[in-house]
């Protein structure tokens, strides 16, 4: 014990700390170089632990800790129980924040108070009732630290040194018996072969005082427990997305203050975040506006100028422009200034210098957008193709998966990832009965191996737009539906875009043909399958379920293992109309390419429209009713273009302007796409709304320094920005005197790097520097799939925007999904088309 206190004294006397933490107006604790959030963001009820809630630490501009709360496991996984926030009190007189947390499953309530002490904060846990008997030895206070921040660094526990493992290397033991702490929906982490056995991680080290990264002043953190032991765990032993966890168990049989920690993050005196120069990594078209946005620490005084340098063929540089810096103001936690270099129109290689900060090299040229959509179509979409083997040169991305699709999902069931079933199936199939014909076509929606029908509809509509309006006939992929084989970088004489439209449409048609209507989605039944990382073909045994066989028994054609994906089949008019729109569009694109499928598309599009008009219209309420109106309008337009029948254009005209009166963002794109099929009066009336849309778009320049519709949700806002830019493309095409092409470029510049936090292109392998760590099926490899477009910046309330490049597992920042990628292909190709014309 004497050595322990000597060690603490030595640490405190030698570390360099900044001024004390204070409770600021944004209700978090702040000092130069360190912020501590206390449940400014809550745990998500749908996705449970997203690693964006609880007590969190932002140290020298980087969020390094999260999840500070009472938890029920040493290393909780995503789907383990999380507490709900009952109450949050900010007491400015006491300079403290108190939160009340509850586990309804155990009627277990705790209170946590956080208040400044010395150079850190004191965290105290209070109980009004003792820990429930079932949770004794399980309930404890956890704080999780980002592994990537501590890779190749060390720690000290009561003075004893250790290394943070680069790869999970901690010890585990097996516990037998029933798990007392349920996971979501009663699912066990492990499959049937692991029932009755549970992997329990053991601590890397234990003691009363822990110092993280003593060698790194920007990451150094001290934790001291007053009344309980501290344990350091590696959460990656159970889940690749786990974090390093510091934990103290709550004592049994006690009430009142039962646990006290002292947490002290090192804060460098007078620390300032280095300026971040945001610009387009793809570069700039010769005549477009060119503006870099420079993000500054609020304690940083802006310089008066910045310079643009040209890089010459011999490696020398020449200053081409020295321009005035123009202040924009504060947005969230940073200040922003702008550097306009639009005057430079000479083709070449350039970089920007602001003070001692210098960007990487980028291009100014005529054809900067020419190839920017190729990786998304050439690589990302082929890798996402379900029911196919996908090969690329020497690499097999995955074998043929899910030949056992699909079983009818059970009724009255709440599943994970937002899937649920009501009291009826809305089909002729009984729960767990096999639905034939679904093992065809479709794309994996994202990093998970499920089919989400709504996303398919959006992707197909974007693809058809790209085919009909831009004539993208690129051929770089071999796709053979008969043999279920895809080979990337191998032309087959067929336009890749048509082949992708065909592939997505095959699954939509199969749903309507075999079920009677489109379904919410098709997803695996068990959590141990859902978080599968690896070859998709190994997620099931690929043999249709046979209830007459025992689990893991097979007759060579069927299997007694119920691992087949489930179809969630409850019907809604929003999805019917969305699918009708996609099928009507696909009918036109596939005519002359796959005439049989084309005819089926129109047949089923009409079917869904007629059934909704007669039976389902108005069945949705609230938010879903708005979606239904949007998709009904889109379906009416697509069916009219396909058939030229008056019933569809009549319905479109009845609905479109009331929709625009409700929301310009929701209705403007489809309203603009209808212009070629409407009369002059329609175009003249729509002009008034386009003027309003421009005014709304111009207002974004006042809301943020990038002038785009940035969102503040639990998912990055890149999709909204891409769709906004696409709407501007259509507006410019028909009303060039109202909307200039700069509104299109502004959206692309943002996607390509002119955004907060960092200046990487949000499209992997597009631009000089781009996202190289993303959330896909290969996320455990800390890698990317070329052409994937990530969601972008996540706002951690109240003012911290983040898009991590060293940690792929934050899906709200880095998960790539099909609808945004298809929309991006259209936008990027459309920008190039504008230039070529």
Number of domain units in the chain: 4
Q: Find where tokens 């971040």 sit.
A: 276
What proportion of the chain, given as a percentage, has pLDDT over 90?
A: 90
199 assigned to some structural domain:
no
The residue among 652, 679, 703 that closes a domain is 703
684 in any annotated domain = yes
**Strand 357-358 and strand 451-452: pairing?**
unpaired
Among left, alpha and beta (phi > 0; psi -120 to 50; other), residue 118 is left
Tokens of 117: 């002490």
Q: Which of 388, 237, 241 is nearest to 779 (CA)?
A: 241
* Domain encompassing residue 255: 2-171+204-265
Q: What is the pLDDT of residue 626?
A: 79
CATH number at residue 450: 1.50.10.10
Asked if the structure places residue 243 within a domain, the reply is yes
Query: What's the pLDDT tens digit per position in 525-580?
Result: 999 999 999 999 999 999 999 999 999 999 999 999 999 999 999 999 999 999 99
Which residues face 763 on adjacent strands? 789
Tokens (6 digits) for 56: 């969190």
Q: 264 with 230: CB under 8 angstroms?
A: no
In whole angstroms, give the CA distance from residue 75 to residue 236: 8
Q: Is residue 720 part of a domain?
A: no
Is residue 724 domain-resident? no
Cα distance between residue 231 and residue 189, in whole Å: 23
Q: CATH number for the domain including 322?
A: 2.60.40.10
For residue 565, give the DSSP letter: P
User: Is residue 646, in this structure, part of any structural domain at all?
Assistant: yes
Same domain, 241 and 338: no
448 and 577 in a single domain? The answer is: yes
CATH number of residue 46's parent domain? 2.70.98
* Mean pLDDT on 576-596: 98
23 and 134, same domain (yes or no): yes
* 300 in the same domain as 234: no
Q: What is the pLDDT of residues 761-796, one digit of tens each?
A: 999 999 999 999 999 999 999 999 999 999 999 999
| pLDDT per position as a tens digit, 467-486 | 999 999 999 999 999 999 99
- Residue identified by tokens 């998500």 is 44
Are 668 and 604 found together in one domain? no
Q: Are residues 157 and 70 in the same domain?
A: yes
Of 641, 670, 703, the residue at which a domain comes to its end is 703
Q: Please indicate, yes or no, whether residues 100 and 152 belong to a single structural domain of this protein.
A: yes
**Which residue, 619, 641, 663, sits at the end of a domain?**
619
Judge if 79 and 44 occupy the same domain.
yes
Among 1, 826, 13, which Cα is nearest to 458's?
826
Is 184 among the domain residues?
Answer: no
- What's the pTM? 0.96
Whether residues 14 and 129 share a domain: the answer is: yes
* In a shared domain, residues 320 and 457: no
CA distances from 243 to 147, 246, 247, 644, 776 (A): 6, 10, 12, 57, 19
pLDDT score for 6: 40
608 lies in the same domain as 645: no
Determine, yes or no, domain membership for 387: no
Residue 498 has pLDDT above 60, yes or no: yes
- 253 and 321, same domain (yes or no): no
């Amino acid at each position: 014990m004497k050595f322990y206190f000597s060690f603490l004294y030595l640490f405190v006397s030698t570390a360099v700390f900044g001024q004390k933490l204070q409770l600021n107006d944004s209700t978090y604790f702040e000092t130069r170089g360190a912020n501590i959030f206390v449940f400014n963001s809550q745990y998500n009820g749908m996705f449970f632990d997203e690693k964006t809630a609880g007590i969190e630490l932002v140290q020298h501009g980087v969020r390094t800790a999260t999840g500070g709360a009472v938890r029920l496991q040493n290393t909780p996984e995503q789907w383990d129980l999380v507490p709900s926030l009952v109450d949050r009190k900010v007491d400015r007189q006491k300079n403290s924040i108190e939160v009340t947390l509850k586990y309804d499953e155990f009627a277990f309530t705790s209170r946590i108070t956080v208040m400044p002490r010395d150079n850190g904060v004191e965290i105290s846990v209070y109980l009004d009732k003792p820990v429930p008997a079932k949770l004794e030895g399980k309930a404890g206070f956890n704080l999780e630290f980002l592994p990537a921040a501590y890779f190749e660094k060390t720690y000290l526990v009561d003075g004893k040194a250790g290394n943070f493992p680069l790869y999970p290397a901690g010890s585990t033991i097996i516990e037998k018996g029933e798990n007392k702490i349920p996971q979501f929906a009663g699912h066990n982490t492990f499959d049937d072969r692991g029932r009755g056995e549970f992997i329990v991680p053991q601590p890397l080290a234990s003691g009363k005082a822990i110092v993280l990264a003593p060698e790194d002043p920007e990451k150094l953190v001290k934790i001291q427990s007053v009344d309980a032991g501290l344990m350091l765990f590696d959460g990656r032993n159970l889940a690749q997305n786990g974090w390093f966890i510091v934990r103290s168990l709550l004592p049994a049989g006690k009430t009142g203050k039962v646990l006290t920690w002292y947490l002290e993050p090192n804060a460098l005196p007078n620390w300032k975040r280095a300026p971040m120069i945001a610009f387009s990594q793809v570069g700039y078209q010769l005549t477009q506006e060119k503006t870099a946005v420079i993000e500054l620490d609020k304690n940083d005084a802006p310089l008066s100028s910045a310079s643009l340098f040209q890089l010459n063929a011999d490696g020398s540089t020449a200053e081409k422009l020295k321009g005035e810096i123009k202040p924009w103001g504060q947005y969230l936690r940073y200040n922003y200034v702008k550097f306009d270099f639009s005057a430079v129109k000479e083709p070449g290689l350039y970089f920007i210098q602001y003070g001692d900060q210098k960007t990487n090299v980028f291009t100014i040229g005529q054809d900067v957008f020419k190839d920017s959509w190729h990786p998304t179509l050439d690589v990302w979409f082929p890798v996402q193709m379900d029911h196919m083997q996908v090969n690329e040169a020497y690499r097999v991305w995955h074998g043929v998966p899910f030949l056992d699709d699909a079983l009818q999902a059970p009724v009255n069931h709440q599943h994970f990832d937002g899937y649920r079933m009501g009291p009826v199936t809305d089909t002729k199939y009984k729960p767990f009965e096999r639905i034939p014909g679904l093992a065809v076509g479709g794309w994996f929606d994202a990093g998970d191996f499920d089919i989400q029908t709504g996303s398919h509809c959006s992707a197909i509509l974007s693809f058809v737009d790209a085919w009909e309006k831009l004539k993208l006939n690129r051929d770089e992929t071999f796709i053979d539906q008969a043999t279920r084989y895809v080979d990337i970088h191998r032309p087959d004489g067929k336009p890749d875009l048509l082949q992708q439209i065909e592939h997505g449409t095959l699954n939509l048609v199969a749903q309507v043909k075999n079920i009677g209507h489109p379904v919410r989605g098709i997803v695996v039944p068990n959590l141990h399958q859902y978080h599968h990382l690896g070859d998709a073909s190994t997620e099931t045994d690929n043999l249709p379920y046979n209830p007459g066989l025992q689990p893991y028994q097979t007759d060579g054609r069927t299997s007694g293992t119920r691992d087949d994906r489930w179809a969630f089949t409850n019907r809604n008019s929003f999805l019917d109309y969305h699918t009708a729109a996609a099928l009507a569009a696909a009918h036109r694109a596939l005519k002359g390419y796959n005439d049989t499928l084309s005819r089926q598309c129109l047949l089923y599009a009409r079917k869904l429209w007629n059934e909704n008009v007669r039976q389902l219209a108005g069945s949705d309420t609230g938010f879903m009713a708005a979606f239904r109106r949007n998709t009904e309008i889109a379906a009416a337009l697509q069916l009219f273009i396909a058939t030229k029948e008056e019933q569809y254009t009549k319905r479109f005209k009845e609905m479109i302007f009331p929709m625009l009166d409700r929301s310009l963002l929701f209705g403007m794109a489809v309203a603009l796409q209808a212009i070629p099929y409407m009369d002059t009066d329609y175009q003249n009336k729509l002009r008034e709304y386009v003027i309003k849309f421009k005014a709304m778009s111009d207002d974004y320049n006042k809301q943020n320094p990038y002038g785009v519709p940035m969102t503040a949700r639990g998912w990055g806002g890149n999709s909204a920005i891409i769709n906004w830019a696409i709407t501007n493309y259509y507006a410019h095409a028909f009303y060039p005197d109202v909307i200039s092409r700069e509104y299109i470029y502004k959206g692309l510049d943002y996607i390509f790097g002119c955004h907060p936090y960092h200046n990487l292109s949000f499209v992997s392998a597009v631009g000089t520097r781009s996202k190289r760590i993303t959330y896909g099926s290969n996320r455990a490899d800390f890698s990317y799939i070329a052409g994937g477009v990530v969601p972008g910046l996540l706002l951690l309330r109240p003012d911290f925007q983040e898009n991590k490049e060293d940690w792929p597992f934050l899906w709200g920042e880095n998960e790539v999904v099909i609808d945004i990628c298809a929309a991006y292909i259209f936008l990027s190709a459309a920008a190039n088309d504008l230039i070529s014309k």
